[in-house]
Amino acid sequence: MRLGAGVALAGFAAGEGVPALANATNTPPPDGVAAPRPARVRPARPWVLGHRGACAHRPEHTLGSYAKAIADGADYIEPDLVITRDGVLVARHENNIAETTDVAAHAEFAARKTTKVIDNAPQTGWFTEDFTLAELKTLRAKERLGAFRPESQAYDGAFQIVTLEEIADFLTAEAAARGRRVGLIPEIKHSTYFASIGLAMEDRFIDRLRASHYLTHAPVIVQSFEIANLKLLHRRLGDLPQVQLMQLSENKAMPADRVALGISRNWAELLTPEGIAEIATYADYLAPHFRDLIPLGADGRLAAPTPLIAQAHAAGLLIGTWTFRPENHFIAGDYRNAAGDGARNPEGSVAEMRRYIAAGVDAFFTDDPALGRLAVDS
């Protein structure tokens, strides 16, 4: 996190890269004027980022999942943000809600099933932009991985879809109850696509951020796989020193905003030393997929780290990565056990996270923040 002038947030130790809040304000800077940004300082220990909350235990992007993540020691919780027909930001991993809600069981919405092209890929299902918030509130969340995660699946039907405003209020209450700050690490999803249908997200996000007293004082890291929206946020949020920006990447993927401009280069091609230096002009973190930092060898075991961690640090960037999951299916061969592909393997997940911590990551997403906390603290 950025280091400020010696003011630490409750629950974060002074000197661990926590930003000062003296300059935080609800007044935006003049258009086109970026306030000076504090220097980036590596945290003393990597931040544990609750991926969609604690989605190894509760259906993702629900208050239940976020509550579990906070109770289990996450430093930040993550809402992926999409938008409704009436312009409200809600937490869903994708705007296609076929896999994460019970929408298919609602006969009144059957006719809204459709096929769309989202970020150059066709998808069939039900999409948040075709529903009002009131309609989405009639749905209930369900576990995306089904029987693969029986504990979470047991909560199918228990939780509503929640808005960014509701998450901010929830964090305010949790911080007060627990006596510590919990950071928010939202991802703005499908920015170019939503803008193309008249539902641009960035101004709405900025408005909601500034409307929350908690979010103008708590640590916030805004993520995106796109580039232009992070550059916009860099210009518009410079007066909030506790807000940082994270450039997500995945080697085989292409940023949708670049593709819309006719630039068909994937992240493996973009993450040259020059490209990383450009990212450092607008973002604080580079966050590649974890296998792009330490890839799997032909035997399914972890190979040598790529140069990305060292190159990012040399450019002044912090390094995040995603995503560690506690089941054997998702764990490198070095750390799997004999319990079966779908079995939970907490010890193996912790050992794998420690491998990446030793390689130098500054923050990492995990579906099971309790295991992330154990990997960092022990």
pLDDT at 9 over 80: no
pTM of the entire structure?
0.91
> What was the pLDDT predicted at 33?
52
Cα separation of 211 and 226, whole Å? 25
User: Residue 344 carries which DSSP code?
Assistant: B
pLDDT tens digits, 23-45: 334 445 555 455 566 779 999 99
pLDDT tens digits, 108-157: 999 999 999 999 999 999 999 999 999 999 999 999 999 899 999 999 99
pLDDT at 342 over 90: yes
Domains of the chain: 47-99+161-377 (3.20.20.190)
**How would residue 227 be classed by pLDDT, with cut points 50, 70 and 90?**
very high
pLDDT at 181 over 60: yes
**Closest-CA residue to 324 (of 62, 46, 100):** 46
| CB atoms near residue 173 (< 10 Å) | 10
Q: Given the DSSP bridges, would you call strands 114-118 and 121-125 parallel, antiparallel or unpaired?
A: antiparallel
pLDDT tens digits, 197-212: 999 999 999 999 999 9
**How would residue 301 be classed by pLDDT, with cut points 50, 70 and 90?**
very high
**Closest-CA residue to 247 (of 255, 258, 239):** 255
**How would residue 5 be classed by pLDDT, with cut points 50, 70 and 90?**
very low
Could you give the count of Cα atoms lying within 13 Å of 271 in the half-sphere of its Cβ? 26
**pLDDT, average across residues 356-371:** 98
